[in-house]
Amino acid sequence: MADSDDNQQIIPIDDTQNVIERNKLDGWVDLDSKRKAFAMRYIIDYDHRTAAEESGFSPNIAMSLLREPLTAAFISELQKEKGLSNIVTSDFIKTQFVNLIPYLSGQIEVPIVTGSGEQIEARKFYPGELVNVLKELAKSTKFYEDGSSDKGVTNIQINMGDLVGDINV
């Protein structure tokens, strides 16, 4: 269910840049408080759905909010103020890699489809994907940048009993 203020006034394309410039000077007066809250929340971790929910919008319209010229310009200004660029930062990438590790190492249950087509939640270990994430994380943190030409060797020990645990299939 959309609020009445979920629909922003439509601005002709010719006037869009003028409206954006005027808003930069006037403190974004044409941007309602919910859209400002959305933009401020969005630049924290670039999760548009969470930003929409936390600012009072349906998560289903989050992408359309990002495409609104005035909202997009406000986000761009916030990024400039905080010294962020429009590209994804290395810290963001590192955070996303770290967030994947519990899923790939079998610490958190994931949806799995059985041979009979039934979907269950179970812990599953993805060794190849985990190694790739760890390699990329090592590259992004310059872990092996010590001036040597030696390749790093990683030994991973996995206790399969801990992974299997309570799974009853």
Average pLDDT over residues 84-89: 57
Q: What is the pLDDT of residue 70?
A: 94
Least confident range of 47-61, 71-85, 137-151: 137-151
Q: What is the pLDDT of residues 103-161, one digit of tens each?
A: 888 898 888 888 898 989 888 888 899 888 888 888 877 776 665 555 556 667 777 66
Angle between helices 69-81 and 33-45 (to 10 degrees): 50
Q: Name the E strands within 55-154.
A: 109-113, 119-123
- String of DSSP letters for 6-55: GSPPP--HHHHHHHHHHHHHHTSTTS-HHHHHHHHHHHHH--HHHHHHHT
Q: What is the pLDDT of residue 2?
A: 45
Average pLDDT over residues 1-18: 61
Average pLDDT over residues 69-73: 94
Distances (CA, A) of 16 to 22, 69, 80: 10, 7, 20
The model's confidence at residue 3, banded by pLDDT at 50, 70 and 90, is: very low
Q: What is the pLDDT of residue 169?
A: 53
Q: Which residues of 58-80 are buried (b: 16+ CB within 10 A; e: fewer)?
A: eeebbeebbebebbebbbbeebe
**CA 43/CA 102 separation, integer angstroms:** 25
- Of all residues in the chain, what percent carry a pLDDT higher than 90? 30
Q: What is the pLDDT of residue 79?
A: 86
More confident residue, 43 or 94: 43
Q: What is the pLDDT of residue 88?
A: 62
Q: Dihedrals φ, ψ of 110, to 5°?
A: -130, 155
